[in-house]
Structure 1
Amino acid sequence: MPRKFVVIDTETTGNAPKKGDRIIQIGVSVVEGNRVTETFSSFVNPFKHIPVFIQQLTGIDDEDVADAPSFTEIAPKILDLLEDAYFVAHNVPFDLNFINQELQDAGFSPFVGKVIDTVECARILYPSAPGYQLSQLAEWLEITHVRPHQADSDAIVTASLLIMLLNKLENLPQRTLKWLGSLASGLESDIEQWIKERKNEKIRWSVEDEDFVEEFKGIALKKTSTTETSYKKENLEGESSFFSQNGRLASNWNQYEHRPAQEQMSTEVKEAFENRHHALIEAGTGIGKTIAYLVPALYYSKKTGRNVVISTHTITLQEQLMQKEIPLLQATVPFSFHTVLLKGKSHYLCLRKFKQLLTTAPSTYEEVLGLSQILIWILETDTGDVEEINIAGGSASTFWEKVCTDDSVFSKASQPWTSRNFYERAKEKANKADLLITNHALLFADIKKEDRLLPPYKHVVVDEAHHLDELASKNLGDQINYFYLNQVLHRIGVLDKTGLFQQLFVYEQSIDYFFSSAWYQRREDYFTLLKYEMDELFRMLHQFCRNQSIQKRTDVGKLSIRYNPGREDSPEWRAIKDSVKRILVLFEEEETAWLSFYDHLSHLVRPASNEEGMLYDFKTAVEQIEGICESLVSLLLEEDDNFVYWMEVDNKGAANATYLYTRPVDVSDLLADRFFAEKDSIILTSAALTIKDSFSYVIQKWGLADFGPSKLQLTSTYSFDKQAKLLVPEDMALIKDGEKDFIMETAEFIYHAASITEGKMLVLFTSFDMLRKTYHQLKKWDEESDFALIAQGVKSGSRSKLMKTFKQHEQAILLGTNAFWEGIDIPGEDLSCLVIVRLPFPPPDEPQTQARIEQVKKEGKSAFSHVTLPQAVLRFKQGFGRLIRHKNDKGVVVVLDRRILQSNYGSDFIQSLPQLPIVQKPSDDILNEMATFFYEK
């Protein structure tokens, strides 16, 4: 095997060598004996103009390459270096394709030796890395990267990365190397033989595995602690240095400054816990509400021996709690306490399912890569939480479904794995925790399920509580879609040799022959018919939705319609109902046969064998289909007057890609009966709970009227009158007068405002369509790329990825909608201007909003005053809160919707804001106001 690794990086005029793009710079680093032994770099004359965007990206212009050698002149040097070596690159296909094309054009033979792709290897060996671009890895691994996008610098960094990868690979446990070797043939990098040599060396020289590794049922994983952590409740000795007056925040404790409002909130939470009542607390920015509720929650738990649940809506806040506030408390308090983060089952790796998939032939490259990543990850993780691993591939969720924990965790097949089960370990810790951190989704899933997901609790803090009714409605409703249905049917796999039923039947035939081929053929026929009927049902639903949408002149794109399952009576709907009934009959026949098959085989499979695991997975899949059938009944055959029903399709999607939903219209009674009446004390806190300084709206909406909650409103401690201004251009077009003019004026204002603020601007929209149109208009004007224009839904990436990109650029404009109205934190100079394009009234065609409006009208009330306006005001408060995040922040909020000052309801929005200067002038004068605000001393 070669012991020489030649790392090559190229800079090029484009991405397509076959279409004439050429190399403009090459960098080479030779690695031997885990060190760089030689380097070579050169500009290359492409004999063509270098595009402007390539010049901006690389810093290489036409003058740099004008006197450079041609590739033909340096080709012998490259070939000499590559002799008997691995070709290594960060994204091998790109660099190797260019090198081979240039070699062939110069009359040389292409390179056909072994290759190593450091992107692929980094994905495997660093499964928890935040990203796999070279610059991301260099920063994460603390590799100095002087000149990104210059081939010589990139080659040196890639060589350093390669050395780290080889070292980590060499030090893997023997068992891990064995499994990696079995998967390596499915990888793009030629590392199979190299891995086997490392494994054999460990056997030959009896190299001991590290102390932190243990072998369990044939796989190597991080050793669990043999020392049992003490979770006993203890007396609060010495608490006076941390608490004052029985659970309030000690005014001299806070490591920042004394905050009276924070202490006031802490007292309110303490009294609610002790007096067993619910509390509503609106806490503006700067209050320090997280510490304000954690301190009394912790004190109450330690004093009484009862756990307290902290529920958040976003992963961001959960991470902030676990990585910032909890360690701060642990380092400060004079006693020990235990905090556990608990999520739903599907967030945790199931080692049994992982081992089972590992021992079968992976069906896709994504599976090979995913299994390889997990082999390394289980040597490092304590939690098995999917949030820790950066699973590769576009079908990551499909792969994770095959290895995550599900209801089979309670089966006999999973019992041998119980001691190493991540979910069970998290639950055990949660049962003994003082503070249990979870999310709203799991909180309400626990309320809905008869078998509780959370340990028993009577006290809970609901942070980001403005999502309460939305999350309650979602989790107390029901939904089904064709993709999930198809995924479950595929898992059962009667017609697929890799499916569970097929594999189990082959196994049964090898040991028993109880079930005949005729019986199997009948199952196959019934399954074919069941799948056909389900495909046909969703095709009819798709067509029904399209027809109804066309009749209602719904916009193209995503089509959505409401329906009433008990009152629809068209021929199309009767055909849909008949299809559901046929599915129920077919499934009843199949379920009986499948469960008989399961019962028989459960007495034959060997305990703890792969077949036993597959058998329980098969039963779980059957139960999932049963749940799907129950959902089809509740969604299409039954009707509840308090529920709204709707379906959605993508107008350009597959002919059966339909989504069905039902949600309770009014959750007040459900929350009152299942949540507030069941708990001793629920603290509901958020920055947006009041309208006109009143909690009346949320009290009525959440069913709190009969519980007499205490109420506390704490305004922000920041000096908004000095730190911010609200600017409203009075001459902006109204969208009702023409969308085209409104978008043109919006884009024009953003463009001019950005030149004053030097970017650093967040623009909030209420629709993706308007966002996209504004983005494309801005791109037309900004041909020189003065600003980094980042748009949600236009540029790919998650919210966190777009946020990171925004912060990385000195002059950036971020266009966002929906998720960007809340839960994002851009403190300091990264954000100095917030533009709210339109007042955030809920879309009038949104099914739940429609249903609530109809309900309020039946009660003789104003739908605008009781539904539309309150939702918009609370949303507006959330959006406004994105600007001033810290006491030294400074910026302006521009509202391009002049209705905020010119309509009779505009005062509701203004009253929701802290006291600050408000300026209403023509657009040009507003721009002058901005310039004065930012540049005047």
Structure 2
Amino acid sequence: MERYVVIDLETTGHSAKLGEKIIQIGAVVIEAGQIVERFASYVNPKKEIPPFITELTGITDEHVTEAPLFSELIPFLLPMLENADFVAHNVLFDYSFLKHELEAHGYELNTNHQYDTVELARILLPSEESYKLGHLAEQLGFEHERPHQADSDAEVTGELFLLLLEKLNALPTSTLEHLQRITKTFRSDIDHHIENLLRQDRKAQDNLFDHFRSLSLRRMEKESSENSEQPPPLQTVLQQLKDDQMKDTKQAFERYEKRAGQLQMMEAISNAFESNEHILIEAGTGTGKSIAYLFPAAFYSVANQVPIVVSTQTIPLQEQLLTKDIPILKKLLPFQLNVALLKGRNHYLCLRKFEQSLTYVEDDTYDVQLTKAQILVWITETTTGDIEELSLPTGGRTFWHDVKSDANTELGSFNPWLSRCYYARARRRAQKANIIITNHALLFTDLATEQPLLPAYKHAIIDEAHHFEEAASNHLGQSTDYLSFTYVFARLTSGADNGLLNKLKDMLERYHLFEANPYFKMEKKLKAMNEEVDELFRMLFRYVEKHYRVSTSDVGRVRYRYQSFKESGPIWDAILESCMRLHVLCKDMFTPLMNFCSLLNDLEELAYLERALLADIHAMAKQLYENEQVLYELLLEADLNYVYWIEIEAKGAKNAAFLYKKPIDVAETLADRFFTEKKSVVLTSATLTVNQSFDYQVERLGLEDFGVKRLLIPTSFDYEKQARLLLPTDMPSIKEVSETEYAMEVAIKIERISQETKGKILVLFTSFEMLRAVYEYMKDLRTDETTTTIIAQGITSGSRIKLIKLFKQSESGLLFGTSSFWEGIDMPGAELEHLVIVRLPFSPPGEPHIEAQFEKAKEAGLNPFMAVSLPQAIIRFKQGFGRLIRTKEDKGCIYILDRRISTTRYGSAFVKSLPPIPISKGKLERLLEEVQEFQKNK
């Protein structure tokens, strides 16, 4: 019978070898699937506990002063540990620390196998956002009253371990066999446990899954048929909603309240669909716009048997629509509704590629092995095969490129996995759906491709429409970088599969088609291409270093706008010559490679795995060819309707250069290729107007000739009572001081706001440089008594989602963010009570795309600032402003530190674009007194 001891230690620091000591031990013993014994004790470390450890654990010097020494606890610990399997949440730390302490007292740590519940959870719970013990306890419903206290942590780790063992036991045989081979070098001795499981009769588990070839998948439910119901007239239902008579309304909406704006929006969209009109709708925060557009879309789609596409900019909104809004909608509707989500192809796993990847695992990195283990478990659960469900390690993102679905590697009828293809299934669902949820990127990809990805549609709803122009511009542009090339070179010549070209050579020899001279010439050309690409990108890096003006991107890169035919100098001449050489080399390499592939592809006796390999070779060759074509267009061709620029990472690798081109204006393209082709398009967002006018959007989106309808629905929130807009007058003018002085003053002001309000504060910046400078100054201002945590984008490690989660979990904190934090953040109530906008969000000077738009506006006789810069900044400003008040119960204060809002003529345009809100101007100290009064009246 397996016996496990689960250990958790709290210590004074990370390293026992550096003299750190244990201050608390928690242990539980598991036998026969149950916790049968518990042990917990404080430990006297005979040294002071550092303040940050006390803050983390709650353990003080008073707790341990009278506690036993570690040597006194050894007689209790050794019997528990002897001949047991050792389990911990991060086993390397707890095992090594305990081993060191025991050896220091002359004892050995005699345990059998080790299990790390972090590692096991990553494998067996592959969709969790975080693998911290507190998060897992919350998600899995375990009681965890005292996180970072050893007894509580040990108990929860024990419960987690039992759950993970159950999950492992429930897996099918083929999955376990793959896992056993992959996990031999893992921290957890999972292969040992699997060996025991494989000795058992597993028919009951295996019968629950779909087994095909070497993989086991979740059994798929039969796909729903098309909806043939006829709904009642929408106007009748809207009247019932107005009169609050609609069946199940209150059950569908949690705390349902009739919202006039929502009903107004429903009617407007219904009329637009019926009249075949395009409409722009700004729906203020609190309108409930998702239901407001989904409701009429559902009625119109089912009544007329036509699909309606709902497109969003961001994945979180897609997830919200699917998991929150659609279930509410279905409860409201008196008929069945089919809804499908369709993303770009590379979001979906290719089972054919993944199965092939499992033929070699020994040479994989740990991250790749872990990712393969995760995917093996995930495919027994997922119905979508969508990567967004997976929480991959860093190296796993690179591996995903090897196993994602890809049109270039299609095998058609030769692919045995076709009937189980996740992407094909998603497309089939979309073909039968009334409402298809997708994203702006796929919508534009669909417009450009000869074989449409989306079902033929004439009606669309564009949510987050303030991003629609940008999404069009990104899609109609092009880009490339050094890594795009090196990934392909690596796949063709090296890697875990020993290089695709070597496998091509083996195949050619096997079928007596190998021709040494053309093959080795091709291989030589490929090697020369690799060297040429490296040198070309190094020259691009040097050229930008030498010529760039002060201009940085949102991700901290240096930018340089170029026009190829106007650049000059020996380095640029060398760049163009290198690009031409690369062009010739690529052509000389690509033609024989395609010939070899064609020769093999014509063989009827070619086996499935050989065809699959051939498809991968063909795809990589095509990708390399397309990369080179893009590079050629970016450097050796010029279109005056586009803007071109290069970015470099100034402190990065010397070949880390990125090239881009974008159309300066997409209005005409959108008009001709999108709006003309559709009967009715609804464009909606909380931020479409500038100074209460839609004119800017109408012009930028090419809607001037369509007689587009316009509707502005004000927010349902009472900003007069819920918020205050505060404009400190004791901030320096941006133009009168240096960036350094301005950053110092911003830091002082934020620190004062934090000290006086004690609430959670979101601080929005327009550049990383300013964010970093303010962060550094604030560190200097802080005292030992300061408890407010600063979470800063680009400084605090973690993704945007992780930083927001850390902020939500903090009792009082400051969250510093740039561009991506100005929208898409929803933190109601006490999660966010104060918002600081450091600068009005004008695009930075020298931003290539904006600069080109300025020039075009000048040519048209317009004022670039008024026509381009100001409208964009106001829309961005409104997005940032909208982060604070998220519900009718929220109260909060917005501080604008940029004095231009009250000292310039254009500053009033920002204020006029906001809902009515009390505004106070004055020195910060007086404003903080007003804030105190405002907070008292909550």
Q: When the two structures are superposed, what TM-score results if normalisation uses the length of structure 2?
A: 0.95
Corresponding residue for residue 379 of structure 1: 380
Q: Which stretch has the larger CA shift, 876-885 or 497-506?
A: 497-506
Verify: 1:389 aligned to 2:390, yes or no.
yes
Shift in Å, 1:606: 6.1
* Whole-angstrom CA distance in 1 between matches of 2:625 and 2:408: 15
1:760–1:833 contact (8 Å) kept in structure 2 = yes
Verify: 1:223 aligned to 2:222, yes or no.
no
Q: Which amino acid aligns with 2:484?
A: Y
Corresponding residue for residue 207 of structure 1: 203
What percent identity do the matched residue pairs reach? 45
Corresponding residue for residue 435 of structure 2: 435
* Whole-angstrom CA distance in 2 between matches of 1:377 and 1:430: 23
Corresponding residue for residue 449 of structure 1: 449
Shift in Å, 1:520: 4.3
* Whole-angstrom CA distance in 1 between matches of 2:739 and 2:420: 59
Shift in Å, 1:108: 3.0
Q: Which amino acid aligns with 1:218?
A: S
* Whole-angstrom CA distance in 2 between matches of 1:239 and 1:553: 56
* Whole-angstrom CA distance in 2 between matches of 1:443 and 1:580: 33
* Whole-angstrom CA distance in 2 between matches of 1:330 and 1:915: 36
* Whole-angstrom CA distance in 2 between matches of 1:6 and 1:481: 51
Verify: 1:750 aligned to 2:750, yes or no.
yes
Corresponding residue for residue 470 of structure 1: 470
Corresponding residue for residue 656 of structure 1: 655
* Whole-angstrom CA distance in 2 between matches of 1:448 and 1:636: 23
Corresponding residue for residue 412 of structure 1: 412
Q: Which stretch has the larger CA shift, 788-797 or 292-301?
A: 788-797
1:548–1:561 contact (8 Å) kept in structure 2 = yes
Q: Which amino acid aligns with 1:288?
A: G
* Whole-angstrom CA distance in 1 between matches of 2:694 and 2:414: 48
1:188 aligned counterpart, secondary structure: coil
* Whole-angstrom CA distance in 2 between matches of 1:817 and 1:494: 39
Verify: 1:234 aligned to 2:229, yes or no.
yes
* Whole-angstrom CA distance in 1 between matches of 2:69 and 2:829: 49
* Whole-angstrom CA distance in 2 between matches of 1:172 and 1:496: 27
* Whole-angstrom CA distance in 2 between matches of 1:15 and 1:251: 61
Q: Which amino acid aligns with 2:836?
A: V
Verify: 1:887 aligned to 2:917, yes or no.
no
2:878 aligned counterpart, secondary structure: helix
* Whole-angstrom CA distance in 2 between matches of 1:127 and 1:414: 31
Corresponding residue for residue 835 of structure 1: 836
Corresponding residue for residue 873 of structure 2: 872
Q: Which stretch has the larger CA shift, 767-776 or 814-823?
A: 767-776
* Whole-angstrom CA distance in 2 between matches of 1:187 and 1:553: 48
1:718–1:887 contact (8 Å) kept in structure 2 = yes
Q: Which amino acid aligns with 2:220?
A: T
Using a 3 Å threshold, how does the CA distance of structure 1 residues 186 and 403 change in structure 2: closer, same or farther? farther
Q: Which stretch has the larger CA shift, 904-913 or 11-20?
A: 11-20
Corresponding residue for residue 253 of structure 2: none
* Whole-angstrom CA distance in 2 between matches of 1:125 and 1:238: 49
1:309–1:460 contact (8 Å) kept in structure 2 = yes
Using a 3 Å threshold, how does the CA distance of structure 1 residues 276 and 693 change in structure 2: closer, same or farther? same
* Equivalent residue runs for 1:604-643 within 5 Å: 604=603, 609-643=608-642
Shift in Å, 1:144: 1.1
Shift in Å, 1:272: 1.4
Corresponding residue for residue 724 of structure 1: 723
Verify: 1:114 aligned to 2:113, yes or no.
yes
Verify: 1:284 aligned to 2:279, yes or no.
no
* Whole-angstrom CA distance in 2 between matches of 1:621 and 1:605: 23
2:915 aligned counterpart, secondary structure: coil
Corresponding residue for residue 297 of structure 1: 297
Question: What is the RMSD of the two structures over their aligned residues, measured on CA atoms?
Answer: 2.1
Q: Which amino acid aligns with 1:199?
A: L
* Equivalent residue runs for 1:180-199 within 5 Å: 180-199=179-198
* Whole-angstrom CA distance in 2 between matches of 1:237 and 1:704: 33
Verify: 1:922 aligned to 2:923, yes or no.
yes
* Equivalent residue runs for 1:700-711 within 5 Å: 700-711=699-710
Verify: 1:132 aligned to 2:131, yes or no.
yes
Shift in Å, 1:372: 0.9
* Whole-angstrom CA distance in 2 between matches of 1:352 and 1:13: 50
Verify: 1:857 aligned to 2:868, yes or no.
no
* Whole-angstrom CA distance in 1 between matches of 2:550 and 2:645: 16
1:10 aligned counterpart, secondary structure: strand
1:413–1:616 contact (8 Å) kept in structure 2 = no
Corresponding residue for residue 142 of structure 1: 141
* Equivalent residue runs for 1:241-390 within 5 Å: 242-244=237-239, 252-253=245-246, 255=250, 256-362=256-362, 363-390=364-391
Shift in Å, 1:516: 4.7
1:484 aligned counterpart, secondary structure: helix
Q: Which amino acid aligns with 1:717?
A: S
1:359 aligned counterpart, secondary structure: coil
Using a 3 Å threshold, how does the CA distance of structure 1 residues 745 and 616 change in structure 2: closer, same or farther? same
Could you report, residue by residue, the CA deviation over 1:500-531 in whole angstroms, capped at 9, with x for unpaired residues?
A: 2223323443x234215555433332221111
Could you report, residue by residue, the CA deviation over 1:545-589 in whole angstroms, capped at 9, with x for unpaired residues?
A: 11112xx35579621100112332322222111111111211112
* Whole-angstrom CA distance in 1 between matches of 2:62 and 2:889: 46
Shift in Å, 1:68: 2.9
1:352–1:414 contact (8 Å) kept in structure 2 = no
* Whole-angstrom CA distance in 2 between matches of 1:36 and 1:818: 49
Verify: 1:797 aligned to 2:793, yes or no.
no
Unaligned segments of structure 2, at least 5 residues? 251-255
Shift in Å, 1:250: 7.2
* Whole-angstrom CA distance in 1 between matches of 2:460 and 2:36: 61
Q: Which amino acid aligns with 2:13?
A: G
Could you report, residue by residue, the CA deviation over 1:481-513 in whole angstroms, capped at 9, with x for unpaired residues?
A: 11122112211226986222223323443x234
Say how many residue pairs are matched.
926
* Equivalent residue runs for 1:97-108 within 5 Å: 97-108=96-107
Q: Which stretch has the larger CA shift, 781-790 or 361-370?
A: 781-790
Shift in Å, 1:54: 0.2
2:551–2:845 contact (8 Å) kept in structure 1 = no
1:129 aligned counterpart, secondary structure: coil
* Equivalent residue runs for 1:673-712 within 5 Å: 673-712=672-711
Q: Which stretch has the larger CA shift, 666-675 or 95-104?
A: 95-104
Q: Which amino acid aligns with 1:709?
A: V
* Whole-angstrom CA distance in 2 between matches of 1:762 and 1:768: 15
2:179–2:373 contact (8 Å) kept in structure 1 = yes
* Whole-angstrom CA distance in 1 between matches of 2:113 and 2:834: 52
1:605–1:612 contact (8 Å) kept in structure 2 = no
Using a 3 Å threshold, how does the CA distance of structure 1 residues 766 and 782 change in structure 2: closer, same or farther? farther
Q: Which amino acid aligns with 2:450?
A: E
Unaligned segments of structure 1, at least 5 residues? none
Using a 3 Å threshold, how does the CA distance of structure 1 residues 239 and 853 change in structure 2: closer, same or farther? closer
Shift in Å, 1:96: 1.5
Q: When the two structures are superposed, what TM-score results if normalisation uses the length of structure 1?
A: 0.95
Shift in Å, 1:539: 1.1
2:827–2:883 contact (8 Å) kept in structure 1 = yes
Using a 3 Å threshold, how does the CA distance of structure 1 residues 20 and 604 change in structure 2: closer, same or farther? farther
* Whole-angstrom CA distance in 2 between matches of 1:239 and 1:414: 48
1:735 aligned counterpart, secondary structure: coil
2:705 aligned counterpart, secondary structure: helix
Corresponding residue for residue 572 of structure 1: 571
Corresponding residue for residue 458 of structure 1: 458
Shift in Å, 1:306: 0.7
2:667–2:702 contact (8 Å) kept in structure 1 = yes
Shift in Å, 1:402: 1.4
Could you report, residue by residue, the CA deviation over 1:789-831 in whole angstroms, capped at 9, with x for unpaired residues?
A: 2222211222222222222222122121101111111112322
1:791–1:815 contact (8 Å) kept in structure 2 = yes
Q: Which stretch has the larger CA shift, 704-713 or 823-832?
A: 823-832
Shift in Å, 1:709: 0.4
* Whole-angstrom CA distance in 2 between matches of 1:855 and 1:598: 47
* Whole-angstrom CA distance in 2 between matches of 1:494 and 1:395: 17
2:194 aligned counterpart, secondary structure: helix
